[in-house]
Structure formats: structure tokens, C-alpha cells
Chains A and B, each alone.
Chain A
Amino acid sequence: MSPEEPARHREGARRLAAAPVLDVDLLLEDPQTRIVVCCGSGGVGKTTTAAALGLRAAERGRKVVVLTIDPARRLAQSMGIDSLDNTPRRVKGVDDAAGGELHAMMLDMKRTFDEIVESHADRERAAAILGNPFYQSLSAGFAGTQEYMAMEKLGQLRAKDEWDLIVVDTPPSRSALDFLDAPKRLGSFLDGKLIRVLLAPAKVGGRAGMKFLNVGMSMMTGVLGKVLGGQFLKDVQTFVAAMDSMFGGFRTRADATYKLLQAPGTAFLVVAAPERDALREAAYFVQRLAAEDMPLAGLVLNRVHGSGADGLSAERALAAAENLEDPRIVDQDGGKAGVRTDPGNSPDTQGSSGTADSAPAEQAPDTSPEASAPKATERPAAETTADSTAAAGTAAPETTERSVDALTAGLLRLHAERMHLLAREQRTRDRFTARHPEVAVTEVAALPGDVHDLAGLRDIGERLATGRPELPGPGA
């Protein structure tokens, strides 16, 4: 990737804020890179990005595991990780010529939580915890458990040391920041003052225990009991008592995960789409990572649109489309005038007249009544085609050109729409770059459809590494 890359294709079309380009391959190939965390708001393609990065790293010789949270069904199936068993599986169909491997897994948060309990408590106590209703709700549904368990699983995978690169997808949180906070929050809760208080009566039991509590605390358990119901509090107390031996562990684990995220081998990639909300969230994330001393590698900007004809502005395209659609202009000039004003054109026009002659038979049925009302009025030239063709075959070349003109106008309108989209995306992106000029960016061109297989992921990986949207150009 050359340094002049950023200014290449768009010069002239618009001013490009000079953001450094993120070199994805350099990051993935660096043996020092051990963990890549993909974060960002929901719906920006985090999971796909994580999977594509994992595949690319594996095909460039690294032994990779991808931890996904909530992959699209078909993507999970194509990677062979659609069954939840909470352990990494080797992905088939990966090019291992460079000696790499790809493993992937889908997080089962309840299973992960259960495993922690089982590995830290004896069988009897584990059974008591796993059967506790408070535990069941906490492990299955509590917002934050997923974040905590994702980080827990990351810690486990790292500790195994079986892979030289771990790529992590982050949960679709209310806010992208949740996964940074949840481990600390859950850790401090499970290890905290309140738990000690709740624990005390159950552990020591009876009045003797109460002496150790001050009035405020006993009042508090009283209020909690009132608000939540006595049974609830009892469940919590039993749960807490059973978990007692593990509490220190939670805090330690939360701290260890946090430190792991700050370590030099970790790289954060903020994933976003060129939309206002997604980039605003990305900007928050960049600030937050800096505040937490977490190493940010760069921004992955997904779904960026390009155009192979970006020299043609939306305004000119629309003006040209109107030109073609206005029947008066077409009638006046006999349809071909526009071409004939350019003297250099005549050989071309002659050369293709044969094709034009053969067309009417196919074209006529297309001017059918099923075209919606507004569209029909937009294309008066096409409307007349059927009549005139039926009336006189000699009119055919001209009317065909008129219906081609209508189509061309459609293509130009499509282009105008694309150029408007491009301009909007660029404005949004520039706003981000203005605020965070230091953040390296790689852009991934928008695909018309979803990615379902390794070939699709490979394509995304290629685009990630190229750093610029691939433009639909000649021969595409």
C-alpha cells in the first residue's frame, strides 16, 4: 500500500481529508498481534468483519480462532459453527498452503458461565448454584452477562495458548461501550460490599451474625426484602453463599481480562458504516479506548459506496436524463440529432444500425400497461413505441432509440442517486476524520447482498486489506 493511495481515485471529485490508511495485512501478519477485538454499534457488519479478518489471517499462515457472538445463521452454517457447543471448531475449506488454520466458535454465554461454576466449585456446590433461580436468570438473560462471558471466553482462549491469533466479535450492546464496562461491573458486584452484606446473614446465620451488621445494612436487606420479595432475597443469599469461594476469582478474572485488553499484543478495530449514528458511536469508542489505554489499530468503514463514473456529477446526470426523457426534444431532433452534432460519431452510429433494426420485436412487449402510472408519464417515448412499430416498420430504428433513451435516462438517474449517496457518506466520514485525524481507516466497498460463505469472506478480506472501495470500472 503506497502512501499516495488515499488521494488517488477521488481527486477532483471532492476534497479528501487525509486520514492514514489502515494496513490490515501488516496487522494480521505481525506475530506480535495476538488479539484483535472488533467493536462498534449494532448492524455495521462487526461479525462479518471479524470472520473475514480471521480467514485472511489464516490464509496468510496464522493459526487463528474467531470468537463470534451472534452470527447470521447462514454464515454460521457455512463456517460449521451453527451448533452451540462452546468450543472452537476447525473451519473447512480454508486455504492452508501458507500453513495457517482457522478455527471458529459461537459464544454460548450460559454454557460459559456454567463452566466457570463447574470448574471452581465441587460437584455438590456447583449443582446448588446451577439450580438456583437467581443464577439461572443471571446467566441466561441479564444484560451484561453476554459481555462478561465474551471477555471470559477470550481470557480462556488466550490462556490455552493454542492459537497465535484470536479475533473477537463483541456483543450487540445497547451501547458499544457496554462490553468494556460489564466485566468490571459484574466483577465488582460479585465481589463487592453488597454481596458481603447479603452473604452475612446466610453464612453466619441468626442473631449472632446480625451483630456484625450496622443498622443501615440490616435496614437495607429489609428494604430489599420488601421490594424484591423475601424469597428473592433468600435465593440471592443462597446463591451468594454457594458462590462464596469463587468471588475473589471473579474480581481477579475481570482485572486480568481488562489488563489483557490493554496489553501490547491486543489491537482494537472500531467497525462502523458511513452513517451518522454509527460513526458517532465509533467516535465515542475511539475516545473511550484512549481513556482506558486500550490500543486502537484503526477504523474499519464498511459499506462504502464508490462509482466508476464519479467524474459525472449528480446534477449533470440528472440534466442529461431529463434531456433524454423530454419527448419534445426527441421529436424535434428526430432522435439522432444529439449524436449527429458530434461529427466524429457517424461511423459508430452506422455500425450499430443492424442491431437497432433487430430490436423492436423484443422491445415492443415491454411497453406494457403494468408500468406504473408515474413511470409511464416519465417515459412517453417508450409509450409510443408499440403503436408506431405496429403502424409502420420503417419507424423502428427511431422509436428503438427512444426506448433506449428512456433506459439510459434510468441509468443516469441511478447514477445521480449513487453520487448523492457518495457525497453524503463522504460528509459523514469527513466529520469523523476531522475529529480524529490520527485514526487509520480502511474502507470496505458495499456489497449488494449479504455474505454467506468463505468465498464472500475472502472477498471482504481482500477489500479490507486494499483499504479502498473497489470501484465498478470497465469490464465489471
Chain B
Amino acid sequence: MSRLQVVSGKGGTGKTTVAAALALALATEGKRALLVEVEGRQGIAQLFETEALPYEERKIAVAPGGGEVYALAIDAELALLDYLQMFYKLGSAGRALKKLGAIDFATTIAPGVRDVLLTGKACEAVRRKDKRGRFVYDYVVMDAPPTGRITRFLNVNDEVAGLAKVGPIHNQAQAVMRVLKSRETAVHLVTLLEEMPVQETVDGIAELRTARLPVGRVVVNMVRPQVLDATDLERVRETPRTALARSLSGAGLGGARRGGHAERLVDPLLAQAGEYAERYTLEQEQRAVLGEVGLPTHELPLLAEGMDLAGLYELATELRKQGIA
């Protein structure tokens, strides 16, 4: 099991949720996981129903069996100041740099530098050891940028190499790439069973593979329960409306004759079944497309009550059950 688990996915697919559930799942049985956020959205804090996370590793959840989940919202500016402090003992000069806009420049404008700092911090957490020489975190889970940007984000070496050919940022990029391209890392992609997210996932996997970044698994999120299967749907089409009306009436839902309560339910129920059938077909098509990428695929259910902390634990259990953690 790779120690750095990177979770990406198209916007709206729930990659933050999956990353958090994965961290919880990995932390079970006394392990310690660090959940890292790199986009400054405070999605983790919202998910765990806590106040905004500072730039500091802090315990946010206890997993079943005594494991712990820590969280860190990496801020590129503070990471750079940290970094300068560590290597150059800048002190107040750091603040002067900030005032001039140099930090903003280096982290926001200079392409790739921001990404090196963000991935660099995550890699540092992966490698960090305590005094007894044991890893501080068993796993680091990164809630990464979306699929469209993930390869560029992780492939910092290429980004930076053309710009900073020597110097600390260059060295940092090299060190980061050694971790990211090793077996220590796995990049997972979250998708929905819809055409655009699936297409983006397939494209993203191809890009990651071209860049020789280790692709892990595909997680299909928010899968709706299968209420009727293809056979049922076929039979729904063949069953006379009057028979359905009688059946509804038999279940205590009113009269089956024309205009009766049960009879009036038939059309809307059939319309809903029609929509379900159309979606079912589309979902099967998308499953087939995902099947072709040749990666282990997992499905997480759509939670009927919406996403909350309890739901997160439910998804974590599901991930463990499916052997992803």
C-alpha cells in the first residue's frame, strides 16, 4: 500500500469527501493518517464540521480502533516563508519580501513554484520520522487539484526544470519527483457515472500514464441504488397499465378504475421508471468505458441523507470493505 495517496477527480465528483473517507479508512486499527488540502478551500474543515484549519497539522478525527486522522491545509505563501526561514534564516527579511509582493509573486505567479511547495510539503510529511526512526504518519492522503490539472500539478519537475535549472527550488523539485514517481505514491481518480466526468477520468489516466506517474484506482462516487434491473425494466414496458393499477390498488393505494387514486399513480410512476431506465442505460455505458482503462474500480453509494460526518464514516467503512484501505 502506497504511503502517499493522491485523490483527484473532476469538480463536483466529491474528491474531498473521498479523500477524507480514505484517510479515515487508512487510519483504522491504530494507524495515523495525515489529510492534506492544497487548494485553500477549507473543504476538509467543512466536511469534519470544525473551524477553518490553520497552516498546522492538527488532529481532526479518531478512526474506529483508535487510529487518528490529522489534517493540514497547506498554504503556499506560508510554506515558502517556512522554507526560506529553514534554509536562509531570513527572519524579518521574509516579511519585507512579503510586503514587496515577492512571496505572492513566487507562489502565485511563477508557474510551478507554487506546486513544488505544495507537493513538497506533502512529500516531507511522507518522509518525516520521529526520534525513534519511525514514520510520523503511516499514510498521507492529499485532496489534490481536479483531474484537468492533476498531471501538471504533480509533474512539477517538468514544469520547473525549464525555468529553474539550478538552485534550491530545482533541487526541491527533483526530491519531490523521486517520491511522486515511486511506489510510495498512488494517484486515485474520483468520478461519477456520467459522461463528462468519465471522459475526463479516462483522459486524466492517459495523461498520468504518459507522465509516468503511478495511477492507483478509480473510485465511482455517489452511485445510486439499483432498484430495478434491466430485466425488470423490460417487464415494466410489457406490463399493461391496468395490471399495475390493480396492483397499486391491492397495496392499499386507492381505486384502480380510471380516475381512481391508484390508476392516477401509474403514469407518474411509469414516467419515473422511464427516466430511471434511461439513466440506467447511460450508467451501464459509462461502467463499460471505465472498465476499459484496466484499473481496480470501486463504487461508493450515494448517501440518502446527504453528506455529513456520519456519512463519512460510512464511506470509510465501505472503502475498507472493498479492500482499498
Contact = CB atoms under 8 A, between A and B. Distances in A.
A303 to B, nearest CB: 10
A349 B100 contact: no
A371 B169 contact: no
Interface string B260-279: 10001101111111111011
A141 B111 contact: yes
B161 to A, nearest CB: 10
B168 interface: yes
Contacts of B231: 366, 368, 370-371
B269 A412 contact: yes
Interface string A215-236: 0110110011111111110011
Contacts of B133: none
| Size class of the A contact interface (CB-based, 8 Å) | 35 or more
Given A339-B256, A348-B246, A308 B164 contact: no
28 contacts: A44-B12, A134-B111, A137-B112, A138-B109, A143-B114, A174-B145, A175-B40, A226-B88, A278-B12, A280-B46, A308-B267, A316-B253, A323-B252, A342-B254, A342-B256, A349-B256, A401-B250, A404-B239, A407-B232, A410-B236, A411-B273, A424-B306, A471-B268, A472-B271, A473-B267, A474-B268, A476-B267, A476-B274
Given A229-B167, A404-B247, A276 B307 contact: yes
B271 A476 contact: yes
Interface of A: 41-44, 70, 72-74, 133-134, 136-138, 141-144, 172, 174-175, 185-186, 189, 192-194, 197, 216-217, 219-220, 223-232, 235-236, 273, 276-278, 280, 307-309, 312, 316, 319-321, 323-324, 335-339, 342, 344-345, 347-349, 351-352, 355-356, 359, 362-363, 366, 368, 370-372, 375, 400-401, 403-405, 407-415, 417-418, 420, 424, 427-428, 448-450, 471-476
Given A137-B159, A321-B251, A352-B243, A449 B279 contact: yes
Contacts of A344: 255, 257, 260
B41 A424 contact: no
B84 interface: yes
B199 A414 contact: no
Contact of B282 (A321, A401, A449): A449
B41 A174 contact: yes
Interface string B41-63: 10100100000000000000000
Given A141-B159, A174-B145, A43 B12 contact: yes
A136 B227 CA distance: 52
B96 to A, nearest CB: 5
A448 B285 CA distance: 13
Interface string B135-166: 00000000001101100100000010011111
Given A42-B146, A43-B12, A141-B152, A220 B232 contact: no
A193 B97 CA distance: 12
Given A231-B166, A472-B275, A224 B242 contact: no
B268 A348 contact: no
The bracket for how many chain B residues form the interface is 35 or more
A414 B197 contact: no
B324 to A, nearest CB: 23
Nearest to B231: A366
Q: Give the dominant DSSP class at B's interface.
A: helix
Main secondary structure of the interface of A (DSSP, over half): helix
Q: Identify the 5 closest CB pairs spanning chains A and B, nearest first.
A: A43-B12, A42-B11, A338-B250, A308-B268, A472-B271
Given A339-B249, A427-B306, 10 more contacts: A133-B162, A229-B170, A277-B12, A278-B12, A308-B272, A345-B246, A366-B234, A404-B239, A417-B227, A418-B272
A323 B249 CA distance: 11
Nearest to B240: A355
A43 B256 contact: no
B235 interface: yes
Given A223-B84, A276-B307, A229 B105 contact: no
Contacts of B108: 144, 185, 189
B265 A312 contact: yes
A309 B275 contact: no
Nearest to A368: B231
B249 A345 contact: yes
A223 B168 CA distance: 11
Contacts of B163: 133-134, 137, 228-229, 231-232, 235
B244 interface: yes
A411 B271 CA distance: 10
Contacts of A44: 12
A1 B181 CA distance: 58
A170 to B, nearest CB: 12
B235 A407 contact: yes
B97 A172 contact: no
A269 to B, nearest CB: 18
Contacts of A280: 46
A17 B96 CA distance: 51
A216 to B, nearest CB: 5
Nearest to B251: A320
Contacts of B228: 410-411, 414
Contacts of A339: 246, 249-250, 256
